[in-house]
Amino acid sequence: MKPWSHYLSRVARGREHAEDLHQDEAKELFSAWLAGELPELYAGAFWVAYRIKGESLAELEGFHQAARAHMTPMARHSRVRPVVFASYNGTRRRANLLPLLALTLTRCGVPVLVHGPDLDALPASPSPDHSPEDRVHSAQVLEQLGLATAASLAQAETLLQMQGLVYLPLSAWQPGLARIFALRGVMGIRSSVHTLLKVLHPFALQEAIVCAAVTHPPYLQRLQEFFVHNDIAALCFRATEGEPFANPQRRPDLFQCTQGRAELLLAKDSTPLAQLPELPENTIAATSEFTVAVLNGQRALPLPIAEQAAALLCLSGRCPDLARARALLRHSFSRIAA
């Protein structure tokens, strides 16, 4: 008999009294969920239970092991380690500058993979009245910029070599996880799957750099613990509307996880703003036009984005230190905001 009711009785006791599953139990649960073997009633119950309880480090590692067991890792074809962004939220108040950050790294010689929802699962372009529910997703901006989307891991490898940047829909490499992720739209709340997606990538475990951003401060420590425990190189920080790019008006603390430890790489920018940076409105067209203008030298690259890029240039192995990373960015971009 499957232990689902026993597991549920332990994790669904509210924030104060819930128990954590052991790592092997969490792996067993999530493996069944990925394979479609978890009854629908239990799937919804576990989704809500983990929304309330939150996942422990051991549970997150069990979920992660289960997800990686369902994929064949992509090969790395560059001396420089690729940078991976999980982009599932979209932005609704300020422009989504993740595609700009990704293309900044690509211009500097770093391969970039962005994974997120399927394009056909995203809503249409934002409405003219800018409803607060409207969101601009990275996939939509990248499509507007003419970058091809991968339909499989094999195609992602090819496109990464050709374009230097590829968008990989979740269903193309984790169909079981994409099915589970779809519960977000049904349940109306997030759960542990969203945390898992921040740490998951399609390469061999130590072959990529994960750029992971969180909305809630306690998770900043949790992700650093996860990356250090699993020897995964990563950059962690507070997200911009849930997306993994630095706030273009005020850079947050940037923490690097590498060589078995987590440490503050760049402290948050606390200097008063002399003026607000020039940013586009939050539409697909305006964001795409701004991105092209920055790449062409007609607009300035926002300094917080440049500083985040410098940190990732170091972590990827493209540059040996921040000074040379900043020099490469100044050489590659004619205008960087002061």
| Span 165-224, pLDDT tens digits | 999 999 999 999 999 999 888 888 888 999 999 999 999 999 999 999 998 888 899 999
Which residue ranges does the chain devote to CATH 3.40.1030.10?
A: 83-332
For residue 129, pLDDT beyond 60: no
Which residue ranges does the chain devote to CATH 1.20.970.10?
A: 4-68
Fold for 83-332, please state it. Pyrimidine Nucleoside Phosphorylase; Chain A, domain 2 (3.40.1030)
pLDDT value of position 335: 84
| Span 43-66, pLDDT tens digits | 999 999 999 999 999 999 999 999
Q: What's domain 4-68's architecture?
A: Up-down Bundle (1.20)
Contact 166/113 with Cβ under 8 angstroms? yes
pLDDT band at 277 (very low <50, low <70, confident <90, very high): confident
pLDDT value of position 261: 95
pLDDT band at 123 (very low <50, low <70, confident <90, very high): low
**Cβ neighbours for 138, distance < 8 A, ≥ 6 positions apart:** 85, 87, 90, 96, 98, 99, 102, 114, 116, 167, 243
Nearest to 266 by CA among 258, 274, 279, 256: 256
pLDDT value of position 128: 43
- Identity of the amino acid at 212: A
Nearest to 83 by CA among 67, 63, 66, 98: 98
For residue 130, pLDDT beyond 60: no
Phi first, then psi, for residue 60 (nearest 5°) are: -60, -40
Tokens 């092997």, residue located: 24
| Span 243-273, pLDDT tens digits | 999 999 989 999 999 988 999 999 998 776 6
Distance CA 170, CA 151 (A): 10
